[in-house]
């Protein structure tokens, strides 16, 4: 029987975009993103980029045809584990496939893991020395508080799922997450359950009726829906986007607002105090 993994630290959230240069430019201009390292490859252009203390790996396929129907989306998330080989053994013992094998790291097939390509690697991207040689090392979180958005780190990321009970079992029994809260999300006709996983909060959000989460699952299936940034002053952050000509919308949770995907490379970003 597979054991629970031990997730130590979230390294980065993985996203796919359509246009690499345009997307990196957008993230740097609007959010003050710090480009840490470009990672060119045969099939895609990629980079590590940090926003508000949260690292993302951004992928843009060199040929868009095979991705065009699905479009920009969250691919998955990488966690540091004590041993990537042991993680691989447990993934396979659980009957899941490895969709990308890197030797030092693996990506789990999202079709068998609630739409998320969970990635496991044996090191932290904040190690000293780091596992990669940054062209611009990530700034400390304290520096991000000085940005006009007043970043305060990652509040949570949300995973939209159609079967909340099964997804809960996966997070707790396989990933070793612990229950943190359960809340109604009436504005988006959903139920949310939060879990502590390493240094993050993962929120499973599941529709209970027609609404944006139900439409998200109809469009994309299960998978990561949103990154929720913590800010020190929500009104200050809202005024920043208004000055930049960006319309803000209600977030999934009370006390939050969102930047719509159509204004944000096809990705949903939310902000919470």
Mean pLDDT across the chain: 96
Peptide bond into 129 cis (omega under 30): yes
Residue 32 has pLDDT above 70, yes or no: yes
Residue 4 has pLDDT above 90, yes or no: no
Residue 1 has pLDDT above 50, yes or no: no
Query: CB of 125 within 8 A of CB of 12?
Result: yes
Q: What is the pLDDT of residues 73-82, one digit of tens each?
A: 999 999 999 9
Residue 22 has pLDDT above 70, yes or no: yes
Domain with CATH 3.10.180.10 in the chain: 9-142, 146-272
Instruction: At 262, give phi and psi (nearest 5°).
Output: -65, -15
% pLDDT > 70, the chain = 99
Q: What is the pLDDT of residues 123-155, one digit of tens each?
A: 999 998 999 999 999 999 999 999 999 999 999
How many angstroms separate the Cα of 231 from the Cα of each of 58, 147, 200?
23, 10, 16
CATH topology of domain 9-142: 2,3-Dihydroxybiphenyl 1,2-Dioxygenase; domain 1 (3.10.180)
Q: Write down the residue that tokens 């809260």 correspond to.
A: 181
CA dist., res. 157 & res. 198, Å (int): 13
**Buried/exposed code over 100-129 (b: 16+ C-beta within 10 A; e: otherwise):** eeeeebbbbebeebbbbbbbbbbbbbeeee
Q: What is the pLDDT of residues 42-93, one digit of tens each?
A: 999 999 999 999 999 999 999 999 899 989 999 999 999 999 999 999 999 9
Residue 3 has pLDDT above 80, yes or no: no
CATH number 3.10.180.10 given to 146-272: yes
Confidence at residue 73, expressed as pLDDT on a 0 to 100 scale: 97
% pLDDT > 90, the chain = 97
Which structure tokens are listed for 68?
């065009």
pTM for this model (two decimals): 0.96
For CA atoms 16, 167, 84, 226, give the dihedral sign: positive
The closest of 120, 104, 103, 87 to 2, measured between CA atoms, is 87
For CA atoms 18, 159, 144, 251, give the dihedral sign: positive
Q: What is the pLDDT of residues 181-237, one digit of tens each?
A: 999 999 999 999 999 999 999 999 999 999 999 999 999 999 999 999 999 999 999
Per-residue pLDDT band for 2 (boundaries 50, 70, 90) equals low
């Amino acid at each position: 029987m597979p054991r629970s993994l031990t997730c130590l630290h979230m390294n980065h959230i993985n996203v796919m975009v359509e246009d690499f240069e345009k997307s990196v430019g957008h993230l740097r201009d609007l959010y003050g993103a710090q480009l840490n390292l470009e990672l060119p490859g045969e099939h895609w252009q990629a980079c590590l980029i940090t926003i508000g203390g949260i690292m993302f790996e951004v992928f843009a396929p060199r040929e868009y045809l095979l991705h065009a129907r699905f479009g920009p989306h969250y691919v998955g998330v990488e966690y540091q584990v004590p041993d990537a080989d042991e993680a691989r053994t447990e993934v396979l013992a659980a009957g899941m496939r490895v969709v990308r094998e890197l030797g030092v790291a693996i990506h789990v097939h999202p079709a068998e893991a609630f739409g998320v390509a969970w990635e496991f690697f044996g090191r932290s991207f904040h190690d000293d020395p780091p596992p990669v040689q940054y062209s611009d090392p990530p700034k400390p979180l304290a520096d991000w508080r000085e940005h006009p958005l007043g970043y305060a780190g990652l509040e949570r990321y949300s995973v939209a799922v159609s079967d909340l009970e099964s997804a809960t079992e996966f997070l707790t029994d396989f990933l070793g997450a612990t229950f943190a809260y359960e809340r109604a999300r009436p504005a988006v006709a959903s139920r949310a359950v939060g879990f502590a996983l390493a240094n993050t909060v993962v929120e499973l959000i599941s529709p209970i009726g027609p609404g944006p989460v139900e439409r998200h699952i109809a469009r994309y299936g299960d998978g990561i829906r949103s990154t929720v940034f913590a800010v020190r002053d929500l009104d200050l952050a809202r005024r920043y986007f208004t000055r930049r000509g960006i319309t803000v919308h209600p977030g999934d949770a009370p006390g939050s607002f969102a930047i719509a995907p159509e204004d944000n490379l096809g990705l949903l970003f939310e902000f919470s105090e």
